[in-house]
Structure 1
């Protein structure tokens, strides 16, 4: 079965998007709805910093059209720690805060690790066993964003595949571009948008990521997010990719 490509940005509240992406005069409370009308996914960043209420997730889900997906950034208390094997309580708190209220609007969970975090096979393996397959009957998909070159290791890739977790491919000047094994979906974070490019990426680079997404659909769903970089250009980049994908 061919997967579906979803393209989005990080969050939806960002002042420079008002008047460039969001129409002048659009109420802030309507910005998420506008994202749902023009993009097909977004990353929720607020969950990285603190827990949200179940009703908040339910309202977010209700605001979006069929087919839209929220990727949810996992709590920093689970990933920014010396011993990952001790993250069980933080993972349980994060998963249990109400993300199940997103229902069929729930995309992958993004587990992001600091650039200084090195690959420790025993500790990371123990962490992966703590990731639940579902919460309140809602299946969970996990994506690992590792930022240290020590993770560019066959042992890590095999470990992630065994756990059914995708390895995030980052387009970034200093993070390694690690390509993981097929686990039924792909996750890209495209972080090189440039202010002097109206669509964030130049035509040739944009086409490269469009073709990458098309290829990955043979393995399942694809999530491509324009994050960081020249952040003011990210909505335009996402829209340009959606247009190119037809």
Structure 2
């Protein structure tokens, strides 16, 4: 009997890396063709630039046009919200972020990743307030985007193509988040907890939404170490369990969900990019899962 499973997308975190040229990217490939090349080989890519600063609508439109139908981008949320404001008084910054053009991705807009700094401890009240602000559809995002301030005036994009669901995930880097209260809060708001594989921060396996979000940073050396065939086999087993609505072995901060979904979509991004490990590992994991690239 074949078990149903959700959509599994294996990808990379970012795509513009000089050491990849001539290794992952063919020698002589122009830099403006790198996104298109990567998008033919993977089903999703994380956009890192949105973390560091507000992008422009034309950039999102270009990224949409350069990628094939069915492709998805995950976006890193603004560090101004997570690292500088520390989630305090962020309604206007969130509106600015949403107005910066991400809605121009249309159906290629995937989950938004909110990454918290290592020194940020769990504050239930502040976290709950932030999660309540997050729009759950592109229509809601467009409405909130229209409350932007002068920072994006004249370069804003506040229209949505239809009203599609909008997903959010959070990546924690402080031990205080190892708390049942935190897991319960994420489940209440249907926000995914990122399963982050790293030697430095918590790696929790709790499933808190109808999708899973995995970031593989390198299990022995941050952003550098690759994954062996045995390690990729283990991750493939976890991914298949999650996609089928199940759980995976490992550390959990809370109890299993009371009403687990029958299937989950799973997004996996390799962030061990320094030594060009990410694209090779991502391709190997795709093969293990029976996922073909578009070439």
User: TM-score range, shorter-chain basis?
Assistant: over 0.9
> Which residue of 1 is the match for residue 198 of structure 2?
172
| Match runs of 1:128-167 below 5 Å | 128-134=131-137, 135=141, 136=160, 137-167=163-193
Aligned residue for 2:122, secondary structure, equals coil
1:78 maps to 2:81: yes
8 Å contact 1:109–1:143 — kept in the other structure? yes
Q: Which residue of 2 aligns with 1:47?
A: 50
Question: What is the correspondence of 1:184-223 to structure 2 with a 5 Å cutoff?
Answer: 184-192=210-218, 200-218=226-244, 219-223=263-267
Moved more, 84-93 or 29-38: 84-93
Once the two structures are overlaid, the 10-residue window that deviates more, 81-90 or 109-118, is: 81-90
Extract structure 1 runs of 4+ deviating beyond 3 A. 228-231
1:191-223 CA deviation, whole Å, 9 max, x = no partner?
11679xxx9211110101111111111231100
- Partners of 1:74 and 1:18 lie apart in 2 by 27
Contact 2:191 2:208 in 1 (8 A): no
**SS at structure 1 position matched to 2:133:** coil
The structural deviation recorded for 1:152 is: 0.9
Runs of at least 5 residues in structure 2 that lack an aligned partner in the other structure: 142-159, 245-262, 291-295
For residues 60-71 of structure 1, the aligned pairs below 5 Å read: 60-71=63-74
| Number of equivalences | 243
CA shift, 1:124, in A, is: 1.1
CA shift, 1:23, in A, is 0.1
1:8-38 CA-partner distances (Å, limit 9, x unpaired):
1111100010011000000000000001111
Match of 1:9 in 2: 12
Larger Cα Rg: Structure 1 or Structure 2?
Answer: 2
Contact 1:79/1:87, CA 8 A, preserved across alignment: no
Over residues 212-238 of structure 1, what are the superposed CA-to-partner deviations in whole Å (9 max), with x where a residue is unaligned? 111111231100111036441111011
Work out the CA distance in 2 between the residues paired with 1:194 and 1:65.
34
Greater strand share, structure number: 1
Contact 2:186 2:208 in 1 (8 A): no
Give the TM-score, by structure 2 length: 0.78
Q: From 236, 240, 244, give the equivalent of 2:280.
A: 236
Q: 2:269 aligns with which of 212, 220, 225?
A: 225
Return the match for 1:23 from 26, 41, 58: 26
Q: For 2:25 and 2:220, how far apart are their aligned partners in 1?
A: 19
